[in-house]
């Protein structure tokens, strides 16, 4: 596709991606469209397709940008596989906090970029250096990622539809327990659950190291 004559001179793939993420952060995925993105960029929607062949390709780039934030937080200094997964989990949840309306896109979309694959490959290679079997790595990754997605999506749902105190007050035990389900306890709860998983998985990994 030829570049539109009406496209701004500063229009780049990176700028389109960044403005798309900012727009989704404001409107949510349901309110996002290439027409609205074009308006935000000051160009026709068709100009976007010079840089991205489809809306799906653009959304893949947005997901990749959010994952880049995870990779940046984790860094490359960690030598222990379990500690690396701990850092990934906390960084991943932080993305949900920074991009609450865009995060469901990250949580429900398969990774499709080379940069994200490269990041995951480095994580898996770290496990290989510690002689952890591929099967254990796969289980480790699936369990931890599922926990992070579920916890973060639950937090976002709680923000949108908080339960009122009057509803809880009708049920004595729910009222007592739910005090610890409030947002101010979320950090401790996330860390508690993550450590339970990591401890169990670390024990499993030590028993199943490759010969």
Domain boundaries, given as residue ranges, for the chain: 1-53, 62-207
**Architecture (CATH level 2) of domain 1-53:** Orthogonal Bundle (1.10)
How far apart CA 158 and CA 177 sit, in angstroms, is 16
* Integer-rounded Cα radius of gyration of the chain: 21
Please write the tens of the pLDDT for every residue from 86-120: 999 999 999 999 999 999 999 998 887 888 898 89
> Is residue 32 classed as helix, strand or coil in its secondary structure?
coil
Model pTM above 0.95: no
- pLDDT bin (cut points 50, 70, 90) of residue 80 is confident
| Res. 24: pLDDT tops 80 | yes
Q: What pLDDT, on the 0 to 100 scale, is given for residue 183?
A: 85
> Is residue 102 classed as helix, strand or coil in its secondary structure?
coil
- Determine which helix (DSSP H) or strand (DSSP E) holds 144, and give its type and residue range: helix 134-160
Q: Which residue has the higher pLDDT, 155 or 202?
A: 155
- pLDDT bin (cut points 50, 70, 90) of residue 8 is low
Residue in the block written with tokens 């327990």: 177
How far apart CA 51 and CA 190 sit, in angstroms, is 39
DSSP 54: S
Task: Return phi, psi of residue 112, to 5°.
Answer: -140, 10
The number of CA neighbours under 13 Å toward the Cβ of 208 is 17
| Res. 12: pLDDT tops 80 | yes
132: β partners: 209
CATH tag, 62-207: 1.10.357.10
Please write the tens of the pLDDT for every residue from 129-184: 888 889 889 988 999 999 999 999 999 888 766 556 677 778 888 888 888 888 88
31-67 as b/e: b if 16+ CB within 10 A: ebebeebbeebebbbebbbbbbeebeebbbbbbbbbb
């Amino acid at each position: 596709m030829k570049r539109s004559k009406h496209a701004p001179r500063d229009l780049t793939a990176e700028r389109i991606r960044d403005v798309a993420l900012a727009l989704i952060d404001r409107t949510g995925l349901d309110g996002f469209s290439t027409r609205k993105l074009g308006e935000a960029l000051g160009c026709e929607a068709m100009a976007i397709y010079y840089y991205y062949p489809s809306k799906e390709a653009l959304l893949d780039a947005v997901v990749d940008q959010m994952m880049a934030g995870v990779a940046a937080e984790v860094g490359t200094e960690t030598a222990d596989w379990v500690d690396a997964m701990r850092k990934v989990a906390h960084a991943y949840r932080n993305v949900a906090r920074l991009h609450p309306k865009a995060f469901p896109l990250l949580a429900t979309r398969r990774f499709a970029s080379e940069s994200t694959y490269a990041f995951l490959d480095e994580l898996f290679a770290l496990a290989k250096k510690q002689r952890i079997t591929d099967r254990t790595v796969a289980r480790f990754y699936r369990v931890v990622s599922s926990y992070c997605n579920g916890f973060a999506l639950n937090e976002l749902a709680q923000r949108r539809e908080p339960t009122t105190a009057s509803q809880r007050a009708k049920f004595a035990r729910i009222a007592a327990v739910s005090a610890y389900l409030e947002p101010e306890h979320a950090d401790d709860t996330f860390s508690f659950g993550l450590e339970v998983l990591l401890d169990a998985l670390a024990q499993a990994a030590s028993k199943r190291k490759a010969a």
